[in-house]
Amino acid sequence: MFEIRQRDGLARIGRLTTPHGALETPTLLPVVNPRKLTLAPAEIRDCGATGLITNSYIISRHDELRERALADGVHALVGWDGPLMTDSGTFQSHVYGDIEVEPQAIVEFQRDIGSDIGTVLDVFTEPEFDADRAEAELAETQARITAAVPLKGEMLLAATVQGGSHPALRERAAAQVSTVDADMHPIGGVVPLMEQYRYAELATLVLAAKRALVTARPVHLFGCGHPSLFALAALLGCDLFDSASYAKFAVDGRMMFSWGTRRLAEMEELPCGCATCSTTSADELKALPAEERERQLARHNLLVSFAELRRVREAIRDGLLWELVVARAAGRPEVGDALAALESHGDWLEQWEPAFRPRQPIANREPLLRFARGRLTRTATGGASFEHPLFGTVPEPLADTAPLRPPGNVRQRSWTPERVHAIATFQFGGSAADALLGGEVELVTSRNTGRLRNVLVDGEHRLSLSARYGLFTLRTAGACVIHAACAAPQQRVVVHADSAEFNRQGRNTFCKFVLECDPDLRCQDECLIVTESDELVAVGKLKVAPVEIALGQQGLAVKVREAV
């Protein structure tokens, strides 16, 4: 149902399959009011939307809408043929107090009107509630989730994480919802934090949930609809967002941008290249009739939102999402507050840090610093070194190695066994490097570029160099040497016997067959695939973080390079 295709720390690009099509995440589900459409669904699609969310509680309370939805389905009701999620009335209870609907009945109603993703009617726990009240309301939410699961039928079910402003309750709630047969997990009860710009608290509560949520399911951040927040929310591991802000802001004459909000009445020019702003002027927009101006501003807000989501996804592909969040913090100091709050979670976040990234990081990101400095402690400090603006003192032999390359052009350096040993130590540790290079070393370089290609020891091809990252890939002979020299669980991914038979044939390893993983490994690290009895069967590249596997990730675990 949810396939994760690329990662950048907690952030991921995924594909969520529903009965009415697929959603590429991270993405926004614009809220459509079934009683009043600011923009027609076709216009919303033209702005970049691939899915919508509407409110089943409003539909259920309106006789005509209810009958039409039950007769023709909710997709026909709102004029949308793509993925469609329905909310349950929880937000209405936050705004208006008690609502007239039974929790189980609203789940059945969402199922009966053909919602692709239905939502449990959870209890919206206000951030100011004390721990005792938040815990009592969480118990009610958990009971409703348990009762809703048998009722969902073929509908995907969103089971919300509540817990107020108490991180321990959020983590407990996440652990509980991860055990039920749900399909998605919204983070609920956080709209007041976003409205009050309490982004540091928001980040802390989202991370508390992420510590316990099963990673194979998407995470939805309820009420997140401003483009200035999308990069931060994705960095925290959220996959889906929803909001009616694009329309509400338009009614109030406000225009959204990735760096903040401006009132049209205060603007002389439009600092935007969207399809709305590039074909009109600020004065022309101001002169439009109220209804048409509202429509054009709503269109602008959605166009800007989906443009920002494209930037977010591309930043994830490049491994530069943290840098994008830093850029957004320049316009929204509250985003900077959230980044500062992440420092206290550095040890946990470091577990998600990949061994290398497609592009060279430039931001002072705490997880990356912890990862790089931890690996630098493996490498001897004697000899020549240079000062890196992020990582401090770095041995000279690692100057072309990701992520330690200094800014600017990288100059060519001669290849020596000592330089090879330094890189191998940085990657695999001192004992592994000593074993890998224990013998007569032959360095095979390119005649044209002088770059190192392969490392042979005693005639065996043990290592190859990735010129792009300055890191080694293990060949079979090298894997055998590390396996013999390093005790379990070092460098190892332990797999079930059923998987081992396929891995011996050069096929990939999947998460569900992984029994154990060296906790010091990171995503993109070289690794050994072994059986429970420590028989080496293959060598490859780890494609997930060990912590992901522990949290129930599915899909590809190790991309096998060679069978043994």
Alpha-carbon torsion 220, 225, 227, 232, what sign?
negative
Burial of 556 (0-12, 13-18, 19+ CB in 10 A): middle
Length of the chain: 564
Closest CA to 158 of 111, 99, 195, 199: 111
Sequence-ordered alpha helix ranges (H) in 1-54: 41-46
CA dihedral (273, 274, 275, 276) positive or negative: negative
User: What does the alpha-carbon distance between residue 472 and residue 463 come to, in Å, rounded to a whole number?
Assistant: 6
Decide: 564 and 542 in contact? Cβ < 8 Å. Answer: no
Phi, psi torsion values for 470, nearest 5 degrees? 65, 30
* Alpha-carbon dihedral angle through residues 91, 97, 101, 106, given to the nearest 10 degrees: 10
- Tell me if the bond preceding 361 is cis, omega within 30° of 0: no
Beta bridge partner(s), residue 455: 443, 463
The two tokens of residue 508 are 């990939």
Q: How far apart are CA 415 and CA 288, in angstroms?
A: 68
DSSP string of 234-287, one letter each residue: HHTT--EEEESHHHHHHHTTEEEETTEEEEGGG-SS----STTGGGS-HHHHHH
Is residue 349 classed as helix, strand or coil in its secondary structure? Answer: helix
Place of tokens 């216009």: 43
Alpha helices in 457-545 (DSSP H): 476-485, 497-503
Q: Count Cα neighbours of 176 within 13 Å in the Cβ-side half-sphere.
A: 20
Tell me the torsion sign for CA atoms 398, 400, 404, 409.
positive
Indicate which residues carry an active-site annotation: 87
- The Cα angle at residue 424 between residues 421 and 428, in degrees rounded to 5: 140
Rounded Cα–Cα distance for residues 529 and 377 (Å): 26
Chain-centre distance for alpha carbon 225: 17
Contact 66, 35 (CB under 8 A): no
What values do phi and psi take at 357, rounded to 5? -125, 155
How many degrees, rounded to 5, is the angle at CA 315 between CA 312 and CA 321? 85
